[in-house]
């Protein structure tokens, strides 16, 4: 499986609504970083798994649509690592408190041995607030 396939599978798993199906794509030491003001990160597969049910309940009928995907080996200085970076430009659609939302974003994944070891997510918080009639 390619790193891109891992990222695709992970994002598709959100439609199942099953935390275990989603968490099956992440490594034990998974780092979940959010760069959006309204997001919150965590470290560890176990911690991520405890947070997923609330996310899934808050955002019903959720899906990620991949608009672009780029895959490349990661490099640090002169050293080429066994990790692969996958960058996904996506649209997240869901129902939040009875309101249908459609939010653009970008995720940067680091994949090692077919598991996501790091995810950095940046989504449009202002669009979310506007679509849900919340103050900015």
- Is 100 within a domain? yes
- Supply the CATH number for residue 83's domain: 3.10.450.50
CA angle, 84 then 86 then 89, to 5°: 175
pLDDT score, position 37: 75
pTM metric for this prediction: 0.90
- Cα–Cα distances in angstroms (integers) from residue 45 to residues 3, 8, 13, 49, 96, in the given order: 18, 18, 15, 6, 25
- Is 136 within a domain? no
- Burial of residue 107 (CB within 10 Å: 0-12, 13-18, 19+) is buried
pLDDT score, position 39: 80
- Is 18 within a domain? yes
- Is 9 within a domain? yes
Average pLDDT, the chain: 92
37-50 residue pLDDT tens: 778 889 999 999 99
- Is 98 within a domain? yes
- The structural domain count of the chain equals 1
CA atoms within 13 A on the CB side of 88: 25
- Is 7 within a domain? yes
Q: Which domain holds residue 12?
A: 3-131
12-36 residue pLDDT tens: 999 999 999 999 999 999 999 988 8
CA–CA separation, 121 and 18 (whole Å): 20
78-124 residue pLDDT tens: 555 678 999 999 999 999 999 999 999 999 999 999 999 999 999 98
- With cut-offs at 50, 70 and 90, classify the pLDDT of residue 76: low
- Is 25 within a domain? yes
pLDDT score, position 75: 62
């Amino acid at each position: 499986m390619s790193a891109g396939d891992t990222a695709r599978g992970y994002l598709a798993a959100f439609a199942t609504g099953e935390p275990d199906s989603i968490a099956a794509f992440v490594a034990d030491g998974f780092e979940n970083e959010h760069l959006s003001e309204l997001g919150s990160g965590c470290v560890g597969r176990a911690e991520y798994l405890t947070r997923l049910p609330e996310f899934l309940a808050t955002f019903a009928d959720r899906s990620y649509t991949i608009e672009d995907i780029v895959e490349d080996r990661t490099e640090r200085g002169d050293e080429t690592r066994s990790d692969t970076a996958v960058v996904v430009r996506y649209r997240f659609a869901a129902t939040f408190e009875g309101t249908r939302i459609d939010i653009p974003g970008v995720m940067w994944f680091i994949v090692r041995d077919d598991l996501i070891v790091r995810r950095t997510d940046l989504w449009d918080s202002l669009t979310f607030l506007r679509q849900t009639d919340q103050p900015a």
